[in-house]
Amino acid sequence: MFDLDGKVAAVTGAGNGLGRAEAIALAKAGARVVLNDLPGEALDRVAAEIGGQAVVVPGDISLMETAEALLKPFGGLDILVNNAGVLRDRMVFTMSEEEWDLVMRVHLRGHFVTTRVATAHWREASKAAGKPVYGRIVNTSSEAFLLGSAGQPNYAAAKAGITALTLATARSCARYGVRANAICPRARTSMTSALMGPAPDEHDPMSPDCVAPLVVYLASPASEHITGEVFVVHGNVAAVMGPPTVRAHWRAEAPMWTVDDLHKVLGPMDSTGFVCHDTLPLAESTFGE
């Protein structure tokens, strides 16, 4: 169920950190791996570490031609792991257009162009075969998309977009055999080392190696029943997030709301966003829907 022998996997951002760990784990599971990152020694080292079943396709992953090149080394693709990213942290009121555009381009556009190429390939193959094919997408989001990140408005927005892209892909491409999921990893990498500090001398619960098994599982035949999900993973923890819920709702007694009536139900909300229970709502109120 977990054997990837004969499968082709492309991993973006494979030169370091999460991408490196994921690529190595996929190769150990039997996959032939296409490694993408910007040209450099780091990417070549990962390829050398994996050996003959790895091929390097360097280039800017936000470019369509780079995404298209991922299909060429082995004549197709079965698994796509989007991991490439970059940070340009700044508060929203001091962020430059360039800092915004770069992060959105690498993260969100980078996920889009690879998804566009992979899903088009699988759709064509499915139509030719007259049945669903094998297609797996694992995208890299972040808890920042839900919780916000004060100094990372560009990053948080990009990760929100990646989550939405994942869900839309899962729904639109399921008929062709595509399974698309997102992970929100917590890991000590070159992007996060300034926040997390140095690794402990012994086992590091924030090691990228702790994230890789979930990626392998979501890439494997065993995950056939899983699509459109968002996972949080780190250390020995794996959690699946639920869809957004309606925390409370009200119905106006009149055919439509007035500003005055809205203040009667929304005004009592305290600073944490919870409605004060000692205030009777205007009409019906339901919590936790």
In whole angstroms, what is the distance from residue 115 CA to residue 81 CA?
10
Active site residue 134: no
Q: Which of 7, 62, 134, 155 is catalytic?
A: 155
Active site residue 193: no
Q: What one-letter code names the amino acid at 52?
A: G
Q: Cβ(4)–Cβ(33) under 8 Å?
A: no
Q: Which of 159, 217, 220, 223 is catalytic?
A: 159
Strand partners, 233: 185, 238
Q: Which of 62, 126, 142, 220 is catalytic?
A: 142
In whole angstroms, what is the distance from residue 282 CA to residue 87 CA?
46
Q: Cβ(159)–Cβ(107) under 8 Å?
A: yes
Instruction: Single out the residue of 140, 143, 142, 144 nearest to residue 153, CA to CA.
Output: 144
In sequence order, the 6+-apart residues with CB closer than 8 A to the CB of 224 are 179
Report the catalytic residues: 142, 155, 159
